[in-house]
Amino acid sequence: MLLQRSLVLAILLGFLFAAALGPVLIPVLKKIKAGQSIRQDGPQSHLAKQGTPTMGGLMFILASVTATLMMTQLEETLLLALMGFLIFGAIGFVDDYLKVVLKRPMGLRAYQKMIMQLTAAGGLLLFAENRGLVPSHLYIPFLRDELTLGWVMIPFLIWVIVGTVNSVNLTDGLDGLAAGTMVIVSGFFSLVCWHLSFTELAWFAGTLSGACLGFLIFNIYPARVFMGDTGSLALGGALSVIALMTNLTLLLPVVGGIFFAETLSVILQVASFKLTGNRLFKMSPLHHHFELSGWSESRVVTTFWGVTIVLCLVGILGIP
């Protein structure tokens, strides 16, 4: 009963705060002309979205942080998760601000974003290492075994954090896709964190799930606001740190399979074109391939949500 009440309260608070912030934040974004630019080589149906306010990730960032701090004390694992959430959100905010407010189409250059992300991931892991929070081994899901990486552990975890952040970012290409997927994955980690006695992380993951659900009110097709890099990088930062703290890093590609399938599709597309001159997909990331194959945007999104639910059910079998 305590579990049910606590997690329901976390989800409810996140949802209510995000839903309440929407009518306040969206007019502000419109006023500063924070409109999204749509790539001309993408699906033609997306051109109608030109000018839709972006940087809406501020909605669930503020909602989740506020709800979390209302529910619990700031112990070290929660502090690390919030740091990952906010630092990567800040990187995304700078990129969005340069693009949509200062009208610099490139925003941060690719190498600048990568340097900032690697620095952020390294800093988070240094903080965690100094406090003894970095696992000494990797838990192997389903096999119930452990893998010791030694000195390779830190570089591996940096790669996981940066990879997860960019995977969520690539997924944010259809109305409601990244936010809805995160509702499910974050809800999964909320239950798992509670099961593994990471109570504060469970509440944070719960508020994040609820806040993304509240954001969906405004982001579901047809979207009134986009999360932008502000939101997608923040979500990736939070998700990767939660997985790190619970030592379920290797479960991320399972329950977050949609995120990683999107990234893999981009890698395979680029590799195939450079090696053979042919493209494997009609367009990458993967969601655009299905769109160009005749699927409606809503059909792609709901199908990917359904796949995520199944993957999270499979993931339950892999928790210790």
Q: Which among 236, 248, 235, 246 is positioned nearest to 133, based on CA atoms?
A: 246
CA Rg, the chain, in Å?
19
Q: Per DSSP, what are the bridge partners of residue 139?
A: 146
Q: Is 41 exposed, middle or buried (0-12, 13-18, 19+ CB in 10 A)?
A: exposed
Is 169 known as a binding-site position? yes
User: DSSP secondary-structure letter at 46?
Assistant: G
Reduced to 3 states (helix: H, G, I; strand: E, B; else coil), residue 139 is strand
179 contacts 304 by C-beta, under 8 angstroms: no
Residues in the chain: 320
Alpha-carbon span 246 to 261, nearest angstrom: 23
Q: Can you say how many angstroms the Cα of residue 62 is from the centroid of all Cα atoms in its chain?
A: 15
Between vectors from CA 316 to CA 311 and to CA 319, what angle results, nearest 5°?
Answer: 125
Is 219 known as a binding-site position? no
Reduced to 3 states (helix: H, G, I; strand: E, B; else coil), residue 81 is helix
Reduced to 3 states (helix: H, G, I; strand: E, B; else coil), residue 38 is coil
287 contacts 262 by C-beta, under 8 angstroms: yes
CB neighbours (10 Å) of residue 264? 17
Q: Residues forming the annotated binding site?
A: 169, 229
Q: Residues forming the annotated binding site for Mg(2+)?
A: 169, 229
